[in-house]
Amino acid sequence: MSRTTWKILVLIGAALAVGIVLGSMGPYILMARNQANLEVWHRLQPEAEFTADRSGDISDLREYMALEDGLFDDIAGTLKNEVDTWPMLSRLDPTSPTNPDTLPRNWNRTYSLEPERVVAGALLLHGLSDSPYSLHAVAEHLQSRGVVCVGLRLPGHGGVPGGLTASRMEDWRAAVRLGAQAVRDRLGPSQPLILVGYSNGAALALDYTLDALSDEDLPAPQRLVFFSPAFAVSRIAAFARWQRLVSALPGLEKLAWTDILPEYDPFKFNSFPLRAGEEIYRLTSDLERKLQRLQRESRLNQLPPVLSFQSVVDATVPPEASLSRLFLRLDANGSRLVLFDVDREAQSEAFLTPEASRVLGAVGKGGPRSFDIVIVTNRSPETSAIELRTVRAGSPPGNPEIDHLKMEWPRGVYSLSHVALPFPADDPIYGVGPVWRDPFPLGRIDPRGEKGALVVPLSLLMRLRYNPFFEIIPPMIDQFLGFEEKKEDR
């Protein structure tokens, strides 16, 4: 073959390679073009944030909260200097009614709730892109029962969404260790330490617990309480890193975000960076490896009892993971899995996908379990009234105890959601009760109109943000923790 022919073939190969690269980049370019523009609060990575590298300089919760105060001051100063015009209802606008500093309490910050008489201590860990507000109702109930509560703001949260582009799994872990020690220091030797985790916070709570089983320097918890636990994420999250790398190319920086949305929610980011998805994938993958190692070492019996609440449908995390990755590995130690079913009333069920029955199908397979299973579901397909069906540990799945409740599905609600479980119906932000201030009762939004007219996806506005059956949760927590249950009609 002649030299000229070789040159032609090389040029053809190069052209094909360029074409393939450009062709593969096409969808990314289109995605970037369709995204909203990045603002200052998306690009800002606050330097005053707590990191694992800083953990040696921060010795206790008081110093952590002092650093946190400086963090919020730095964010406010930077935004004041760099933002000329604020979007309407931005939570970051100091004059906005959605700014958390204008509300009765800014729950974006670490808080401590002290009871009159301490009987136990709890560290509460919120979810990804969330804030300590998400577990405040649970914390206030625990406080009323004599539990000193620390609601920890995890690094990267509460300030600006850009903070999540810099925080890592190791930073969250270091903060959890500091928080757990702070709670333990408030307790007597016989008073139990409780970890309460929501979503990613549940993964961090279990991750910490597994580390504490192998490290005597870490105070071990005696009870775990979870809401919508994120023990696994979609495999697609594993490829987020590659899209983020593509975002480093000129003009494609918006690809580093799955969502770029207005920030009107006072206690949760609407925008979400790929980096945060990468970190929760790292965390859940590491968590599974630790559980496998504990299983190989025949040490699963060292895990404390777990009480977990979750919806059978969950668009954020695969709900089956709590069953397969955790509960099916547990010894009989008093653990309980509480599942909120979808509305099985006949007219509602006709519109449900097969996915709505997957978790209950998995629960019903096999013989007796080592843990209690509680299902919150319709009494029958003919009614929207609900009941509790409890299958005790060691009992056959087809022989539940029945407890009729004085509750029913609200009109127009067909299921709970990942974000709904820890919020009561009267929550002033996400519920349908009295509000702190208009015009942002997010739980009351009921949009009707033409599609494509809003800057926020309808799926976000219409997602259920409160739990209409929340009132069954506090008595279950009381029973699980050994507190005397209040004698009230449910």
Q: Model-level pTM?
A: 0.90
Domain assignment of residue 51, yes or no: yes
Residue 357 has pLDDT above 90, yes or no: no
pLDDT tens-place string over residues 222-234:
999 999 999 988 7
d(CA 194, CA 205): 10
Q: Residue 23's Cα: distance from chain center in Å?
A: 36
Domain assignment of residue 176, yes or no: yes
Confidence of residue 363 (pLDDT cuts 50, 70, 90): confident
Counting the structural domains of the chain, the total is 1
Domain assignment of residue 272, yes or no: yes
Domain assignment of residue 459, yes or no: no
Among the listed residues 295, 312, 314, the one whose alpha carbon sits nearest the alpha carbon of residue 303: 295
Domain assignment of residue 375, yes or no: no
Tell me what the mean pLDDT of segment 423-451 comes to.
Answer: 76
Residues facing residue 377 across a β-bridge = 387
Q: What is the mean pLDDT of the chain?
A: 88
Rounded to 5°, the CA angle 50-55-59 comes to 110
Among the listed residues 140, 224, 113, the one whose alpha carbon sits nearest the alpha carbon of residue 176: 224
CA-to-CA dists, residue 427 to 34, 200, 229, 269, angstroms: 35, 22, 21, 18
Confidence of residue 220 (pLDDT cuts 50, 70, 90): very high
CATH code assigned at 44:
3.40.50.1820
Residue 105 has pLDDT above 50, yes or no: yes
Domain assignment of residue 222, yes or no: yes
**259 and 252 Cβ atoms separated by less than 8 Å:** no
d(CA 455, CA 450): 12
Domain assignment of residue 225, yes or no: yes
What DSSP string describes 328-346? GG--SSS-EEEEE----SH
User: What pLDDT does residue 112 have?
Assistant: 97
Task: Give a three-class secondary structure readout of 435-489.
Answer: CCCCCCCHHHCCCCCCCCCCCCCHHHHCCCCCCCCHHHHHHHHHHHHCCCCCCCC
Q: To which residue do tokens 């506090």 refer?
A: 474
CA-to-CA dists, residue 130 to 171, 199, 217, 282, angstroms: 16, 10, 29, 18
Question: Which H or E run contains 120?
Answer: strand 120-125
Structural domain containing residue 101: 25-304
Confidence of residue 18 (pLDDT cuts 50, 70, 90): very low
The Cβ of residue 421 has, within 10 Å, a number of other Cβ atoms equal to 26
What DSSP string describes 374-400? EEEEESSTT-SEEEEEEE-TTS-TT--
Question: Which H or E run contains 201?
Answer: helix 200-214
Domain assignment of residue 193, yes or no: yes
What totals of helices (H) and strands (E) does the chain contain, helices first? 13, 12
Among the listed residues 108, 68, 43, the one whose alpha carbon sits nearest the alpha carbon of residue 275: 43
Residues, the chain, total?
490
